[in-house]
Structure 1
Amino acid sequence: MRASTAPNDRLQHLIAEAGISYEALARSVCHIAAENGDNRLRANKSSVAHWIAGTRPQPRTAGYLAEALSRRLARPLTPADLGLGSGNEPVYDPASLPPDAVAAVAHLGRADVDRRTLISGAAYSVAALVLPLQQPEIAARAHAARTRPTVTVGQGEIDAVRQMTAAFNAADERLGGGHARTAVVEYLTTDVTAYLRGTFATDALRRSMFAAAAQLSYLAGWKAHDLGLPGLAQRYYLHSYQLAAEADPHAHAAYGLRILAHQAMDLGRREHCVDLAGAALDRVKGRTDPDTESLFWLTAARAHATSGDNQQARSALSTAERLLDRSRGDAAPEWASLGGPAEARLANQSGKALQAMGDLTAAEDQLRRSARCWNPATHPRIHALTLADLAEIQCARGNVEAACQTWNTALDGMTGIRSARTRDAVTSMRAHLAVYRRRGLTTAQRLDNRASNLT
């Protein structure tokens, strides 16, 4: 912390407006830090008192504090709003999406590469979740981005971006989000943004390039998410949504809303998930193949289950199943195919929705089905994570020996993967096994010994 010369009246006023005690605010700040992968932060009511007295928290802590008060007051706030501004403000405003998506993603990517500590420490924002819902016209054509074209873009450039994205994605599946993340961002920030500012012979070519760029921005967000950088991931997802809306304001843009909902649910944030899932469904209905549309119904099912509405969740699951029964074997749109085999993803999301509804028997069946669909050679990370989820359900149902066997297989697939999600899965496994280790269960003790080198 750094000392200031005067009390922070602005912060004191906002805390009073929020009606929150110093102790509760400190707990919220620590919770948000942990949510963003920062488990070392320690704050208490004395810390808050010091901040009000004029002591300046570290920039990361200031970001967590701003998010804590944003959630309490139900409006977006930045550190500057709290009287904690500095020369290193975040490169984006959590209260709005910029009108020029091309400039915005280039700016974000450059800040990510050049000032990684600042940008990667950005807190995940609940307020930012509603930006696509509040600003449906935000992805209007980015005229300013195309006023000075420097390159003529054709199908060859579009194919190159798609091929590079597919190659980056394949490597990500095998090696984790920590592998080649900077290369993905550099390519997005340089070559791809230059193409987006270029000239196109037809509007169809322009839309195809924006679609390809949206996929790459999504991958940049996915890699950040996999590394435990949710705030940064959220921003790439938002820009992916903007770029997708330039290409297709209906189905492809809906996929951007879908991933925002899934990230929120993965982080345990229930706010706005039902609204995002519903908005995505409204855009995609009847505009894509049945298999792909079923993904959106499953998102809605999981969102309703997470919010406690089991009736709506089961209705959405039934609709997804009916769509699968109507499957014609059509090829999925390219923006939907990078995530892997449709059946594997559908079974995975069904399992999570059923788990949220408390139907562990059905959830176990679906996750086992999903695990069988993933090829551990090409998708070791998701195969291992699915097995870890399956093992937790087996453990919760009292099948500890089976759970240990499943966890052992999951650990086989985690070797060499740079991923915060796999590390979190191992940490969760060890927590579940703790009671059985203390009881002297040999299988649990051996498994924990094996896992101790992976956390």
Structure 2
Amino acid sequence: MGRTRNVRLEAAIQELGLPQARLAARFRSVAEENGASELATTNQSSITRWISGTRPSGRAPAILAATLSRGLGRTVTLADIGLDAGGGDDPRPPQWSADTLTTLVDLGGTDLDMDRRRVLVNSAYSVAGLALPSETWWKEAAERARTRTPVSVHTVTPQDVESVKEMTVFFSRRDQQRGGRGAGRAALVAYLRTEVAAYLDGRFPSEEVRRAMTSAAGELAYLAGWTAFDAGEHPVAVAWFTVATQLAEEAQDAPLAGHVLRAMAHQAVDLHHPRHALELAEGSMIERRYKLATPRERALLGVVHARALAASGQKKEALAALTRAGTDLAAADPGIEEPARVAFFGEASLAHESACTLRDLGDLKGAEAAFRHSVRTRALPYARTHAVTLGYLGDVQVRQGYLDAACTTWNQARCGAPSPRSRAVEAAPLPTLTSGPEKSSPT
């Protein structure tokens, strides 16, 4: 069967009005900026083949979209040029070295389009997408962002940065109240894909403002990922987490990058991929991420590292990581300014994650005691997480043969749980004994 001509790509190139040879030259320049040396031989014949229906491989689609975006003065997505994954191909996680802004806008479009999103949600959670990029990629991320050619004429201001931060707090609070399946999630993604993407495509008066806006966008992309994780949409979550990590690195916000990698490790633990969970957790703990983080965030990174070590069967190392996490949390003095994303993490959260670690190490009595401590110290605003902890506590009691105690615990969870709009509540191990995450939204 012959190839189908890519009329969308052809229309975009015609709109640009450049000869294919000049378009190929611009493509090679953008590829070089992004470290895609494998695309250095792209020429006019390549463009002709792509128009005729040959699908470009690897990073070429994202580079092509970025090239056309610059030329047309607006963001061009993979869907706009007929190269998105919605046409029947298996969705792939974002390439680490692809143009971050193009990936963000395209992923947002997929997330908001019910048919395209269904394809992504129904695809398999791919551990291949969890492989961390080379050290060179990390080092060059900020430089790639600094040299990105702006498309918008808008000059981003500090007030614009504050607006994005305020919206992040708003959406985060809504997520805490309604869960990942709440109505606010679509609004979050739409805001990220349109207004925030436009800011990132704008002009920056200083490097400080560029980094601040990119970091704020990374926080919001992380929240989009967490709400997808909370809703059990794991392929969507890992895609957003990847974009969030890229934005954090472009902002040179090492603690934020560590925070997102920690969330990816948490997800991998829950989905029973211990080797990849440990790689991600160790990535979150490298010196520049761990040491630049505040004590509360270091504790969060450390306790998820402990869970990954436990899942990998490394008992001694896991217990040592738990001890260090406790020490870090004890150092979280109220006078230290902490990022909003870790405000939720306190004594109850540490006890919950410690209990999960002890449970996975086979210490059921220790896990039961830690879950009970979490229940006693949990603050009222976190009712959904409280229900999850009670569910896990009942599970541990059943494993020890305490069936009556477990039934009492589960009844408490049922009575105290809010309306289940979140995977964290729905998947807590009540009588079904399935698994779910300890709720850790940014606020």
- Other-structure match for 2:225: 221
2:423 paired with 1:420 = yes
CA separation in 2, counterparts of 1:254 and 1:123?
25
- Other-structure match for 1:230: 234
The 8 Å contact of residues 126 and 271 in structure 1, kept in 2 or not, is answered as no
Instruction: Specify the SS of the correspondent of 1:199.
Output: coil
Aligned residues with identical type, % of pairs:
35
- Other-structure match for 1:255: 259
CA 1:241–1:323 in structure 2 vs 1: closer, same or farther (change >3 Å)? same
For residue 139 of structure 1, what is the amino acid of its counterpart? A
| CA offsets 1:280-302 (integer angstroms, 9 cap, x no match) | 11132321222321222212211
Of residues 365, 369, 386, the one that matches 1:365 is: 369
Aligned length: 346
CA 1:118–1:167 in structure 2 vs 1: closer, same or farther (change >3 Å)? same
**What are the residue-to-residue correspondences of 1:126-165 with 2, within 5 Å?**
126-132=127-133, 135-137=137-139, 139-140=141-142, 141-142=144-145, 145-165=148-168
CA separation in 2, counterparts of 1:148 and 1:186?
19
Q: CA deviation at 1:234?
A: 0.6
Task: Give the alignment's TM-score, normalised by structure 1.
Answer: 0.70
The 8 Å contact of residues 297 and 317 in structure 1, kept in 2 or not, is answered as yes
CA 1:171–1:341 in structure 2 vs 1: closer, same or farther (change >3 Å)? same
- Other-structure match for 2:55: none
Instruction: Specify the SS of the correspondent of 2:333.
Output: coil
Instruction: Specify the SS of the correspondent of 1:183.
Output: helix
| CA offsets 1:79-113 (integer angstroms, 9 cap, x no match) | xxxxxx9833356456x324321221111011111
Q: CA deviation at 1:341?
A: 3.4
CA 1:271–1:108 in structure 2 vs 1: closer, same or farther (change >3 Å)? same
Q: CA deviation at 1:146?
A: 4.2
The 8 Å contact of residues 121 and 236 in structure 2, kept in 1 or not, is answered as yes
The 8 Å contact of residues 99 and 139 in structure 1, kept in 2 or not, is answered as no
| CA offsets 1:3-27 (integer angstroms, 9 cap, x no match) | x9xxxxxxxxxxxxxxxxxxxxxxx
Task: Give the alignment's TM-score, normalised by structure 2.
Answer: 0.72
**What are the residue-to-residue correspondences of 1:285-364 with 2, within 5 Å?**
285-331=290-336, 333-334=338-339, 336-337=341-342, 340-364=344-368
- Other-structure match for 1:205: 209
CA 1:278–1:432 in structure 2 vs 1: closer, same or farther (change >3 Å)? closer
CA 1:335–1:264 in structure 2 vs 1: closer, same or farther (change >3 Å)? farther
2:385 paired with 1:386 = no
2:170 paired with 1:167 = yes
| CA offsets 1:380-403 (integer angstroms, 9 cap, x no match) | 221211221122112222332222
CA separation in 1, counterparts of 2:352 and 2:86?
44
Q: CA deviation at 1:313?
A: 0.8
| CA offsets 1:133-163 (integer angstroms, 9 cap, x no match) | 6743473333575422332222222222112
| CA offsets 1:245-303 (integer angstroms, 9 cap, x no match) | 12235222111211111110011111222222222111323212223212222122111
For residue 402 of structure 2, what is the amino acid of its counterpart? N
CA separation in 2, counterparts of 1:420 and 1:150?
41
The 8 Å contact of residues 217 and 236 in structure 1, kept in 2 or not, is answered as yes
CA separation in 1, counterparts of 2:318 and 2:150?
47
CA separation in 1, counterparts of 2:124 and 2:141?
24
Q: Which range moved further: 228-237 or 389-398?
A: 389-398
CA separation in 2, counterparts of 1:90 and 1:312?
38
**What are the residue-to-residue correspondences of 1:35-184 with 2, within 5 Å?**
87-89=87-89, 92-93=92-93, 96-114=95-113, 115-132=116-133, 135-137=137-139, 139-140=141-142, 141-142=144-145, 145-179=148-182, 180-184=184-188
CA separation in 2, counterparts of 1:244 and 1:250?
7
The 8 Å contact of residues 215 and 335 in structure 1, kept in 2 or not, is answered as no
Measured on the aligned residues, the alpha-carbon RMSD in Å equals: 2.6
Structure 2 gaps of 5+ residues are: 2-84, 435-443
Q: CA deviation at 1:356?
A: 1.1
CA separation in 1, counterparts of 2:230 and 2:123?
15
For residue 258 of structure 2, what is the amino acid of its counterpart? A
